[in-house]
Amino acid sequence: MNPRQNCLECLQRIPPSTFEAALWISLEHDAGVDLGQTRELLAELQRRISAALPLIPAAELAQPLLRQMATIGFQQDDVAQPKPQVALLHKIVERRRGQPLGLALVALELARRLEIPLEGVNFPGHFLLRVPGADHTFDPCDGRRLYPKDCRELLLRQFGPDIALKAEHMVTATPVAMIQRLSRNLRHLHQINDDFMASLKDANRVLELGQANTSDYLARASLYQHLECPQAERFDLEHALLLSDDPVQRIRLTQRLVQLPSGRAIH
């Protein structure tokens, strides 16, 4: 199987192997990635963190786990012009720097190995973690506890006052949702770094994982526009038009479709 097929197969396992699925994405982008080395690094992290954890019930170990990760250098990568390495899992394990989702994927895998209850929360703009059933979440970047008031402030800082905290923001992230979110992050990172073919791989994976939205089709249409592939761009614009509920957006999409050249290009 190729890396994409291995990634999808990991998600079909019972239980799914989210960390392994994310590693196969790294290999899809770089055939030289040594997955065995990444697994060895993670095993060493597991041994080091396990030895430092306090002797308390497993249900209380989530925050100590995240604190230990921060102590040994895991933190958010806040560079102004981020590179794909802030989302590629093998680089996050190696550098101990990354986006919140990538740090969370490492924490979730360590928690799974150490039998510590922990789950992902698909919070907009900043992925979070939570002990199942708890009244608070954790920031995967430093282990800080976040209560509803903190989550509202996080939304305010990222999106402004026009978005209110909703129950849907606190939904537990499924393995597929995490890998799809990771793929969207990588799609964006590759595109802003002008690697359109790599970004197209991520855009295709987003759609292959299912439940794609209007923005996903528009994002891939933009890539096809850069790659001068009007027929593929037309396909995605038509799907975006079918999914859109915004009258203004529908008018703009219709106008854009009319303006597309009729020539064919294949990528």
Q: pLDDT 10s digit of each residue in the chain, 267 long?
A: 899 999 999 999 999 999 999 999 999 999 999 999 999 999 999 999 999 999 999 999 999 999 999 999 999 998 878 999 999 999 999 999 999 999 999 999 999 999 999 999 999 999 999 999 999 999 999 999 999 999 999 999 988 888 889 999 999 999 999 999 999 999 999 999 999 999 999 999 999 999 899 999 999 999 999 999 999 999 999 999 999 999 999 999 999 999 998 655 444
What's the whole-model pTM score? 0.94
Of 145, 170, 195, which one is at a domain's C-terminal end? 170
C-alpha to C-alpha distance for 44 and 34, rounded to whole angstroms = 16
C-alpha to C-alpha distance for 145 and 138, rounded to whole angstroms = 5
Domain match, 244 and 155 both? no
Domain match, 65 and 103 both? yes
Domain match, 220 and 90 both? no
The residues pairing with 97 across neighbouring beta strands, listed in sequence order, are 75
pLDDT at 267: 46
In a domain, 158, yes or no: yes
Give the sign of the dihedral formed by CA 21, CA 52, CA 73, CA 134: positive
Please tell me whether residue 96 adopts helix, strand or coil conformation. coil
Domain match, 55 and 179 both? no
Domain match, 126 and 234 both? no
Angle at 166 between CA 163 and CA 171, to 5 degrees: 125
Region for 23 from its dihedrals, namely left if φ exceeds 0, alpha if ψ lies in -120 to 50, beta otherwise: alpha
Domain match, 111 and 234 both? no
Number of domains in the chain: 2
In a domain, 211, yes or no: yes
Q: What contacts 242, CB < 8 A, 6 or more positions away?
A: none
Of 143, 170, 197, which one is at a domain's C-terminal end? 170
pLDDT at 263: 54
Domain match, 33 and 147 both? yes
pLDDT at 137: 97
Q: Which domain holds residue 248?
A: 175-259
* Residue type, position 12, single letter: Q
Of 121, 151, 170, which one is at a domain's C-terminal end? 170
pLDDT at 78: 82
